[in-house]
């Protein structure tokens, strides 16, 4: 979430000389950064409230964020350094998505974390 907020602020406060050299539009970077920050803040709130489906939402949001990040870097990377590390990013992103997907799609699992309750408190799911 903090990375998304940082990306959003970075998109707003870039110097004009640097804006001319990068291929991603700063306004788009700001909007997408705010969108990811809001999504992850909502999921964090759901996790804090111990909603049973929050871990599943987190998993799918992470898969979407990894996919978006790899896609964005693949499309907008200009520097040789960025281009040379793309195969590593593709593999790392694919492995991350597969690992998360395995945990999300395991049979007999709802994606909810097991939450203990004391005898004197009620569970609100």
Rounded Cα–Cα distance for residues 45 and 18 (Å): 36
- In terms of pTM, does the model score above 0.75? no
Contact in structure between 8 and 37 (CB atoms under 8 Å):
yes
pLDDT at residue 63 greater than cutoff 70: yes
Q: What's the average model confidence in pLDDT over 46-54? A: 91
Question: How many CB atoms are located within 10 Å of the residue 52 CB?
Answer: 15
User: What Å distances lie between residue 20 and 15, 16, 25, 27, 39, CA to CA?
Assistant: 9, 7, 9, 13, 30
Assess whether pLDDT exceeds 60 at residue 18.
no
Question: Could you tell me the pLDDT band of residue 9, with boundaries at 50, 70 and 90?
Answer: low
């Amino acid at each position: 979430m903090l990375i998304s907020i940082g990306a959003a602020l970075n998109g707003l406060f870039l110097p004009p000389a640097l804006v001319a050299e990068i291929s991603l539009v700063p306004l788009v970077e700001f909007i997408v950064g705010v969108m990811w920050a809001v999504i992850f803040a909502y999921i964090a709130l759901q996790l804090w409230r111990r909603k049973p489906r929050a871990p599943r939402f987190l998993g799918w949001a992470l898969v979407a964020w990894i996919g978006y990040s790899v896609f964005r870097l693949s499309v907008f990377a200009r520097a040789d350094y960025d281009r040379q590390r793309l195969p590593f990013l593709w593999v790392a992103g694919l492995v991350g998505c597969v690992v998360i997907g395995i945990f999300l799609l395991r049979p007999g699992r709802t994606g909810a974390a097991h939450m203990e309750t004391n005898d004197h408190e009620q569970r609100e799911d």
